[in-house]
Amino acid sequence: ETIPKTMARVLEKPLLEWMVESIYPHANKIIIVVGVFKEKIIEHFQNSKYNDKIEFVVQEKQLGTAHAPLAAESKVTTPYFAVLAADSFWSPDFYKLFNEAVGRKIPFLTGVRVEDGERLGVIETNGKQLVKIVEKPAKAKNCLVNTSAYFVPKSFFQNLKNVKPSKRGELEVTDSLTEFAASNAMEVLEFSGFWTDVGYFWHLLEANQYAL
């Protein structure tokens, strides 16, 4: 209730700093979309060694995962861009895999295989190509799920703008990715290492356990 989830600590370092530290050597610009408790994120990174590559964008209303990247549209000046959900904790080898895939300049989405996908977006594929993402399906077991780590051309902003509110009233990036995949080839990159999104307190414990 007092800090943004992205500033929750893993071994005394904020979740978001683990991510920024890992992508800093490979990125020419890091755009951080902030909203609730934005001052705490901005202050932390303005006083960090990563500040020279960081720009902040304020998302005035939190309307969903498709709305957040749209807030940064004016800051994206390259033909392609990557989006990473800042409440995720990855093993270090993920960033090597992700950066190598970015170098191929082909749109892709990163997924991980989990035992239970009922609270996540389940990925359906045709070979290695994305077909669609189904949000929070019932009885989804041993499935590939969306990690909100993807690489797309700048034209993807139009797909973000096209999305309509879901049944829970949010603008879901999964709908934008599904629409994009209907007319564009989008590879699904399966990552087999450690990943957790910090949706609950026990996920933060798992991240700390792995980091130790």
Percent of the chain whose predicted confidence (pLDDT) is above 70:
100
Q: Are 50 and 21 in contact (CB under 8 A)?
A: yes
Whether 51 contacts 97, CB under 8 Å: no
Which pLDDT score, from 0 to 100, does residue 119 have? 78
Mean pLDDT, the chain, integer: 93
Alpha-carbon span 123 to 135, nearest angstrom: 9
pLDDT at 55: 97
Burial class of residue 192 (count of CB atoms within 10 Å of its CB; 0-12, 13-18, 19+): exposed
pTM of the entire predicted model: 0.93
Sign of CA dihedral 25, 102, 82, 17: negative
Nearest to 20 by CA among 58, 53, 42: 53
Other CB atoms within 10 Å distance of the CB of residue 50 = 16
Q: Output the pLDDT for position 199.
A: 82
pLDDT at 123: 94
pLDDT at 43 over 90: yes
Q: In this predicted structure, what is the pLDDT of residue 28?
A: 93
Beta bridge partners of 80: 153
Determine the residue type at 199: G
Based on its alpha-carbon atoms, the radius of gyration of the chain, rounded to whole angstroms, reads: 16
| SS3 state of residue 38 | helix
For residue 98, name the pLDDT band (cuts at 50, 70, 90).
Answer: very high
pLDDT digits (tens, 9 = 90+) for 173-198: 999 999 999 999 999 999 999 999 98
The predicted-structure confidence for 107-144, as pLDDT tens digits, reads as follows 999 999 998 877 788 899 999 999 999 887 778 788 99
pLDDT 10s digits, 54-85 = 999 999 988 989 999 999 999 999 999 999 99
Q: CA-to-CA distance for 192 and 169, rounded, in angstroms? A: 32
Q: How confident is the model at residue 41 (pLDDT cuts 50, 70, 90)?
A: very high
pLDDT, position 117: 74
Burial degree of 178 (CB within 10 A; 0-12, 13-18, 19+): buried
Cα gap 160→118, rounded to integer Å: 24
